[in-house]
Structure 1
């Protein structure tokens, strides 16, 4: 997909030509600058974030416990702090290609954007209560030295009896008390598509989902066999026209960010 899109009509025509196989689903992500943004979650982009991952979540939980009172799993907590732009191992995606186009076109005018199309095997799409998702999400509670100490050459009981994995199991059992010590090493090194609970207005408005990253790198540098990637370039000089077309379709700052302050700003700027 090398053609550069210059209009909403052209984008819809291009998207309609992307047909998933019977065992695939399609999800999308928009980048306003195709050269700047990589397929890697915030917490894995810089060493200082990797080093602090174990404390980032606890710091916000400690200072604002009421915000997390309804969250029963680490995934739900990560999804909530993602909403506040705190570094996590989640990468935002959407089921709606027009939402991805909005994010590709709304900023960095005159810079080529892109919509990333993910073809994901259906068995690689998990719900919020998946055991595998719980294993990956709870990596956020391990110290960086513990994650680095995991020996992936081991298997079976030998793998699960390692001190870092034993500690990971303790966190998993907080949300899944009957979880057995049977973590598959491959599950901790993959990337999954997660269907979260739509328990905040932004997730609902953006038809949101997540890619959750295990102990892996960027999808650009470390592909996952179950996830194929295609890219649609968005002409930077036509971004404003595309944003205006999307606005007429009801996709704008106010609808994508339904918090009252965003709605107020949109109304003011529209005057």
Structure 2
């Protein structure tokens, strides 16, 4: 299996020249956008070691909307700054191809309106052809991001007249290991006939002995990774509620001296779950479709269901209400109740045939500095929640304003009234003042990028039942899977074979579907499932 990189920037000024090399930086929130889920799982926890695996694959350097040029490049160095959550990529350009723009379209005096229209259509087809060959999704052309695509870029370029200059043996020779697979825990099933065609052609080119050796190396790497994961997971794995509570008690007591409070989140699939709110999650390999449509979706729900939000006068309250109904928001549910989190971790997944899947769950413990915990009426909370009212283009303008401030000497760390000439910032402050008329328009840039732990009002049955609080994600915020100084993270593995017994124990403690999701529908469902469980034991 072959891969290639797409390293795309917003403007050419974001590509820095370093002597004979170049450098692009990516915030980790932009890493692996528009990338297959199996690859994202491999890089769920970033390390320098697993990032270095990517240097062997060819890279295409692009600018949003394919402006100016596309370059074939060889990555020389990848540097991960875990504190700032930035990744720096150094590379050498091997070959650049000029890309036409609309200004390059040639018109003649005798061109009719229809002729001019056809020339514009030809240009659109030209760009679409490049986009489809490079496996770009619909909005991907507008995003500063780093994607890893499946396919042999040299075979792809040979089949596209606009990219054929990349398909030269001298360039292929620069990547002797580019056909080596990544050590994915689950190999990707290629369903596209085009992709299968590329890989079939590649397979014919590969020496059989080399192919066998690569497969063996990949298998050994996978087994070593699985053995390491198994060893780490067994350190914090429980099989009874009593074991779980002893572990929670031990961890919680250790936090008292550190002035921290512990919260919990459980999920049924430990391998594939990421610490992201639903708004930030990628849909398949189509990118952040929910985030790109945040304002439109937010306003559409308010418009079509106005009575449901009559009692909410703060954006945070609106978002928690939307979250209650599984609407994608920038909130991530956490709980003060460790048993509620354990219940979610023990959820049993089934396939299309109704057979139970062998999937381990996980409870994540968040130990949060008490000084960093906010309440629902905090000004910081208003600043982050009202980002939901900005379009993606407006959020880009806000990012540009922030970047401009960072380049000033000395750098500015605050947005204030002097920025009101920027209509997006003025509109953003207007949204905040709709719920807080007294709000002074000073916003710390660093605060906009934070993840906040927020205690909400216990106004909804489900929040009360689950002792719910929230993690609120700001502009391009990301919580590292391994945690940070504010959020210490501990993971407790719930093995698939223990889920049923744990659910039975939790039921004795009155932690079940009926109490976690209080409603007539779920009470009826709980009673039905209880009868079925009892019948299965006879």
Q: TM-score range by the shorter chain?
A: over 0.9
Aligned to 1:12: 245
Counterpart CA distance in 1 for 2:463 and 2:266 is: 15
**Residue 134 of structure 1 aligns with which residue?**
382
Aligned pairs (5 A) from 1:169-184 = 169-184=429-444
Q: Could you give the per-residue CA deviations for residues 112-171 of structure 1, whole angstroms, max 9, x where no partner exists?
A: 111101011112111100000000000000111111222332433378534332221110
Out of 434, 459, 469, the residue aligned to residue 199 of structure 1 is 459
Change (3 A) 1:126 1:226: same
- 1:39 is matched with 275
Matched residue pairs, number?
A: 271
| Residues 170-204 of structure 1, C-alpha deviations (whole Å, 9 max, x = no match) | 10000001101111111110001111111110000
Highest Rg: 1 or 2? Answer: 2
Q: Tell me, what secondary structure is at the counterpart of 1:17?
A: helix
1:228 paired to 2:485: no
- Of residues 128, 133, 145 in structure 1, which corresponds to 2:393? 145
Note the 1:148-163 alignment, pairs <5 A.
148-150=396-398, 151-152=401-402, 153=406, 154-156=412-414, 157=416, 160-161=419-420, 162-163=422-423
Give RMSD over aligned pairs.
1.7
**Is it true that 1:30 corresponds to 2:266 in the alignment?**
yes
Q: Normalising by structure 2, what TM-score? A: 0.49
Contact 2:316–2:376 under 8 Å retained in 1: yes
In structure 2, C-alpha distance between the alignment counterparts of 1:221 and 1:167, rounded to whole Å: 34
Deviation at 1:221, TM superposition (A): 5.6
In the other structure, the counterpart of 1:79 is 320
Please tell me whether the aligned partners of residues 417 and 441 of structure 2 are also in contact (alpha carbons under 8 angstroms). no
Q: How does 1:50-61 map to 2 (within 5 A)?
A: 50-61=291-302
Give the distance between the partners of 2:291 and 2:482, measured in 1 at CA: 18
The aligned counterpart of 1:115 is 363
Change in Cα spacing, 1:160 to 1:104, as seen in structure 2 (3 Å) is farther
> Which of structure 1's runs of 4+ aligned residues deviate more than 6 A?
none
For residue 470 of structure 2, give the secondary structure of its aligned residue in structure 1.
strand
Task: State the SS of the aligned residue for 2:443.
Answer: coil
Listed one character per residue, the Cα deviations across residues 6-29 of structure 1 (whole Å, up to 9, x for unaligned) are 111111111111021342111010
- Structure 1 residues 269 and 187, CA gap change in structure 2 (3 angstroms): same
Asked if the contact 2:449/2:477 (under 8 Å) is kept, the reply is: no
Rate the CA distance shift 1:102–1:222 in 2: closer, same or farther, 3 A. closer
Deviation at 1:217, TM superposition (A): 4.0
SS of the residue 1:56 aligns to: helix
Q: Shift in Å at residue 218 of structure 1?
A: 3.5
**CA contact under 8 A between 2:366 and 2:487: conserved in structure 1?**
yes
- Secondary structure in structure 2 of the residue aligned to 1:210: strand
Deviations 1:22-74 (A, max 9, x none): 42111010011111111000111132111110011211111111110110101
Which runs of 5 or more structure 1 residues have no equivalent in the other structure? none
Please point out which of 32, 35, 49 is paired with 2:290: 49
Report if aligned partners of 1:41, 1:89 keep a CA contact under 8 Å in 2.
yes
Give the match for residue 45 of structure 2. none
Whole-angstrom CA distance in 2 between matches of 1:116 and 1:221: 10
Is there any run of 5+ residues in structure 2 with no aligned partner, and where?
1-232, 283-287, 350-356, 407-411, 532-538
